Chains A and B, each alone.
Chain A
Amino acid sequence: MKRTIPLAITAIVGAVLVIAYFIPHPPFDGLREDFSIFFDIMATFAFILGGGNLIKMHGNRISRREEGWFFSLVTIVGFLLVLLVGLTKFGNPDGFRGSSVTASGSYFDHVYEYIFRPCGATMFALLAFYVASASFRAFRARNAEASILLLVAFIILLGRTFVGALLTSWLPDSLRFLTIPYLAEKIMVVLNFAGNRAIMIGIALGIVSTSLKVIIGIDRSYLGSD
């Protein structure tokens, strides 16, 4: 029972969606839309689950006074405050029943503007420094393959700036194929394109076979061990 019902649910839902592609007529087309909408609704419950897990994890750290528990308190206070402000539409210019929760001037909008935005953008901006450090420390021509990788990255980095065009602008038109922008473009639209297309075909085959295994019930890893 613990395994049969979930297996049946997966099989029925998956099969309906596949059949609906080949037979886009009632009842399959309608069921396809309904299942997709149910999926969209359940995705919101996944957010709630995520929030619940966060509270549970950080709550445990606080109650056990683990190292850094104060920072867990910051997480929980931040979480609860934003939840309260968002669910009550606190400070919304049009009141609780009016307009969007993200309406300009609302407290929820201030949270986005002055906390979410700077934190999110800066976290990712840090990667610029680490990419530079990695280029210096790890990007080395140790063998033929690594040398190709290095050379291509070099051409692309130069080719995507004005300097790349400037460096080889003295070349005559008959040697246009040696200019950095031309090389960068051909690398991208011919060789990068080819490599990524091969990878894409491989991934597509992998996903198709994995999806089939899940629908048929061969892959049951999501059910756990008990």
Chain B
Amino acid sequence: MKRALWIIITGIIVAVLVVRTASGNMESPFAGIEGFGTWFAALLTLAIMSFLYDDNPLYRFAEHLFVGVSAAYWMVMGFWSTLVPNLLGKLWPSLTAQLFMPGLADTTHDPLWFMYFIPMAFGVLLLLRLFPKGGHLSRWALAFILGTTAGLRLIAFLTADFMGQIRSTLKSVAGLTPAVLPGGSPSFSFETMFWDLVAVIAIMAALCYFYFSKEHKGSFGAFSRIGIWVLMITFGAGFGYTVMGRIALLVGRIEFLLRDWLAVI
């Protein structure tokens, strides 16, 4: 019974699509690469959406195709945008310009061009992870990546996120809102000052909640309890915004199906 119902529904949908396509109300899948592509994209969209009912082979086909295609896509982008101009172009500039990229800025060697053998060697070492015996050598490359990440992040987070945030908090106590326009002077208002003070107290309360070296009892405990409320408000706001973002993505897909494929809007 259930199977028959599905067959009838599918039949009706196919019949509607055939009639609409035949009458020229929507693009035909045989109208060149664009027509075929739009139909293929629409069917992939529906295949992925079918997961909402239950897991099924159509969804798994689309999912696996997406994984393979995206991995290759990233590799190709990395090859043409970074490996060719920034590695091959530095080590063998004339050859690279001749073979791949005629517009390469400079076809002569940099004074320290040989330094680029370092990332090439590390890159090859990184690929040794694919082989069981080469695992330990790939750690050299991993060590370089970790060292760079640690060095860059240490400074960035210390200046922008730690000192920057404390400085902004201190400035806000004065109720001064920076001017957006160049040459404009900071504005002052009692309302701004009030809300800035509320914000400063809320920041302190939330920080107290994260301070675990002292037991959360007495007045400290009460203050850190306010911190929990502040964090709950933060998470509530985050949830509201998350809902908003996800719906926008769905609206985009529905627009594609209704406008680009079915041409009903």
Chain A interface (Cβ < 8 Å from any Cβ of B): 2, 5-7, 9-18, 21, 34-54, 56, 58, 68, 71-72, 74-83, 86-87, 96-98, 100-102, 108, 110-129, 131-132, 135, 139, 145-146, 148-157, 160, 186-205, 207-208, 210-212, 214-215, 222-224, 226
Contact A201 B232 (CB under 8 A): no
Contact B230 A194 (CB under 8 A): yes
Contact A14 B147 (CB under 8 A): yes
From B16-24, B157-165, B181-189, B215-223, the one touching the partner chain is B157-165
Alpha-carbon gap, A146 to B231, bound state (A):
11
Contact A153 B41 (CB under 8 A): no
- Closest chain-A Cβ to B28's Cβ sits at a distance in Å of 15
Alpha-carbon gap, A76 to B207, bound state (A):
49
Alpha-carbon gap, A127 to B252, bound state (A):
13
Contact A135 B65 (CB under 8 A): no
Complex contacts, A123 vs chain B, CB 8 Å: 48, 63, 66
Residue of B nearest to A31 (CB): B115
Contact A198 B206 (CB under 8 A): yes
- Closest chain-B Cβ to A88's Cβ sits at a distance in Å of 10
- Closest chain-B Cβ to A73's Cβ sits at a distance in Å of 9
Contact A125 B250 (CB under 8 A): yes
Contact B230 A191 (CB under 8 A): yes
Complex contacts, A77 vs chain B, CB 8 Å: 68
Complex contacts, B62 vs chain A, CB 8 Å: 119
Contact B240 A46 (CB under 8 A): no
Residue of B nearest to A135 (CB): B243
A-B contact count (CB 8 A): 397
Residue of B nearest to A209 (CB): B154
Complex contacts, B166 vs chain A, CB 8 Å: 201
Determine if B25 is an interface residue (Cβ-Cβ < 8 Å).
no
Pick the contact of B229 from A78, A97, A148, A204 — CB < 8 Å?
A148
Contact B37 A145 (CB under 8 A): no
For the A-B complex with A41-B119, A129-B52, A153-B236 known, give 12 more contacts whose Cβ atoms are closer than 8 Å: A21-B155, A53-B130, A71-B63, A74-B61, A83-B76, A113-B41, A145-B228, A145-B229, A149-B232, A156-B236, A160-B240, A195-B235
Chain B interface (Cβ < 8 Å from any Cβ of A): 33, 37-38, 40-42, 44-45, 48-49, 51-52, 60-80, 82-83, 86-87, 99-102, 112, 115-116, 118-120, 122-124, 126-127, 129-130, 135-136, 139-155, 157-158, 161-162, 165-166, 168-169, 195, 198-200, 202-203, 206-207, 209-210, 227-244, 246-247, 249-250, 252-253, 256
Alpha-carbon gap, A203 to B246, bound state (A):
26
Alpha-carbon gap, A129 to B53, bound state (A):
11
Residue of A nearest to B57 (CB): A71
Complex contacts, B124 vs chain A, CB 8 Å: 45
Contact B68 A148 (CB under 8 A): no
A149 and B235 in contact (CB under 8 A), knowing A9-B143, A79-B68, A222-B142? yes
Complex contacts, A146 vs chain B, CB 8 Å: 232
Complex contacts, B206 vs chain A, CB 8 Å: 194-195, 197-199
Residue of A nearest to B227 (CB): A198
Alpha-carbon gap, A77 to B67, bound state (A):
11
Contact B33 A44 (CB under 8 A): no
Listed by A's residue number, 16 A-B pairs whose Cβ atoms lie within 8 Å are A18-B154, A42-B123, A42-B144, A47-B75, A48-B78, A71-B61, A74-B65, A77-B68, A121-B45, A125-B250, A128-B250, A153-B239, A191-B230, A197-B206, A208-B157, A211-B157
